Amino acid sequence: MSNVIDFATREPRRPDASQGLAAKRRRAEALRRAIKGGEAFAADDQELVARNLHGLIEALVGEGRLTKRDLVVQARVGGNGSTDSTKRLDTYTFPEDGTASRRGRLAKKPGKYLAFATALAGLTGGDESTWLCRIFEGTSFGTGAETASSPEEDRWSRLADLLRQMAAAVVRDEEVERYWSQALTLNGSYDPVSGTLALGPLPMDVLGCATGLAGARCWPGDVPPLASVLLADRSQMPLVAAELIFDGGDVVEAVFDLRLEVRLALGPVNDREAVGLMVEFRSRLDAFNTEAGEPIVFDNVHSDGSGGSDWIGSATIAGRTFKIAAFPFLGAPEAEFRDGCEHAYYGWEEVSPALLRSIFEDPNHTLRACVRDDRSPHDLPPNRFLSGTAVFHLYADLLTGRLEDDLRAACREVAAKVAQLQREAEEAWLAAETTAEARWTAPARNPSRSAEANRP
């Protein structure tokens, strides 16, 4: 088997557009097993589920898609249609201004939430699994790594909650749902290598993320661009020393480091237009010239160079760009958190305490923090996590506003690109319409036919 890639014949792979719904159904099945198996339903998850259901019901009632009375009857939580039993919802919903007393009355078992998912599907349409995922969005329940009620685990629940609050403020202030909805109305494409948007014949959302991106893994050019910021990274395999061969026969001895990026992204989690916070996973290939110690920057950095969607065509060293003739075989393992997809693919998961703990407290992998400045630990607020760890820096950046600032900047960058594409689309529409109107209003193009029409 050849250990080089023929770039002339590379072809990117495209995902099955139904994978978003398939991911929801896998998550929903895990939730059903947890419910039927009597798994522990942590207090933090109880409150979050109740908040989620409250938000869903209020939005649907506001849109005129259902009434609370119909919902409680359909879900069989009390009443027979002739009595007002909507107060029963107090046990299963929790508003932002909910009292401590009401919090104490929340359901301690998750079973009825399955009935609410079934009722919502019946009353409004849609897939029951998607409704169930939206109700349990952001919880650790059903993940197989539920957090216990202890001071040690409370910090992960608190971190997840703070991240969600920060993200909600950014989504609101930067009008993320507005520019996201605008992107979904456009035809065009997103180039994940250059980060540019361009007009094209296909919908911007090729993937079809009607059920959101949580659990999805796909080529990033198949979804509109998401606002995303780096939290931490680590190596996915040992360093590899190998030759990089350029056109013309030049050979560079290089060391390659294939890293996993852990990021925060804002996009549709379990619904096309309901934008929320997710953990995003990417691969990134770092390299440096062994002889000179200079970094090598590839044209497709989120790749392992193995071909297909993972192509790499050129490299830049010390300001000079070289076309690659042969790329070494790195023997890369499967892309982590992406179920065997190529490394060029991105993956997204809901932010939950269990996921955060599994990423940042993995005993087999040490994350390298994204340090946003050279602050002294003495200048930072008190921290729930051990100094020097990646999660220590995440928590500090969250409380001081540095993470928020970066996420806002990412939102504004994406919004500007979408707005520019909208302007280009409008100019293209107008030009095509003007051409058509000129054709329709031009003098007759067949003189003989016109002369016959004018004869007495």
pLDDT, one tens digit per residue, over 139-176 is 999 887 655 555 556 899 999 999 999 999 999 999 99
Average pLDDT over residues 443-455: 61
- Structural domain including 195 reads 7-15+176-369+401-410
H helices, E strands: number in the chain: 12, 12
Taking the model in full, what pTM does it have? 0.83
For residue range 68-82, list pLDDT tens digits in order: 988 998 988 865 555
Q: In the 8-state DSSP scheme, what is residue 65?
A: S
Structure tokens at 378: 């003495």
Asked if the structure places residue 49 within a domain, the reply is: yes
CB 326 within 8 A of CB 313: no
pLDDT range class, residue 13, cuts 50, 70, 90: very low
Average pLDDT over residues 11-25: 60
Q: What is the pLDDT of residue 377?
A: 75
Is 262 within a domain?
Answer: yes
DSSP string, 258-306: EEEEEEEEEEESSSSS-EEEEEEEEEEEEEEETTT--EEEESS-SS-S-
- pLDDT (tens digit, 9 = 90+) per residue, 152-161? 568 999 999 9
- Tell me the mean pLDDT in the region 102-121: 92
The single-letter DSSP state of residue 218 is E
Q: Which two tokens stand for residue 435?
A: 């051409």
Measured CA to CA, the distance from residue 215 to residue 269 in angstroms comes to 9
Give the chain's domain count. 2
Q: Is 241 exposed, middle or buried (0-12, 13-18, 19+ CB in 10 A)?
A: exposed
For residue 338, tell me if it sits in a domain.
yes
Same domain for 204 and 87?
no
In this structure, is residue 447 part of a structural domain?
Answer: no
Do both 115 and 193 map to the same domain? no
What 3-state class would DSSP assign to 215? coil
pLDDT in tens, 422-437: 999 999 999 999 999 9
157 within domain boundaries:
no
For residues 402 and 407, give the distance between their C-alpha atoms in angstroms, rounded to a whole number.
Answer: 9
For residues 11 and 55, membership in a common domain is answered with no
Question: For the chain, what percent of residues have pLDDT higher than 70?
Answer: 89
pLDDT at residue 451, rounded to an integer: 52
The verdict on residue 346 lying in a domain is yes
Least confident of 11-25, 142-156, 231-245, 257-271: 11-25
Rounded to a whole number of angstroms, the distance between the first and last alpha carbons of the chain is: 83
Is 257 in the same domain as 337? yes
CB atoms < 10 A from the CB of 71, how many? 23
Task: Give the DSSP H or E segment for 63.
Answer: none
- What pLDDT does 79 receive? 55
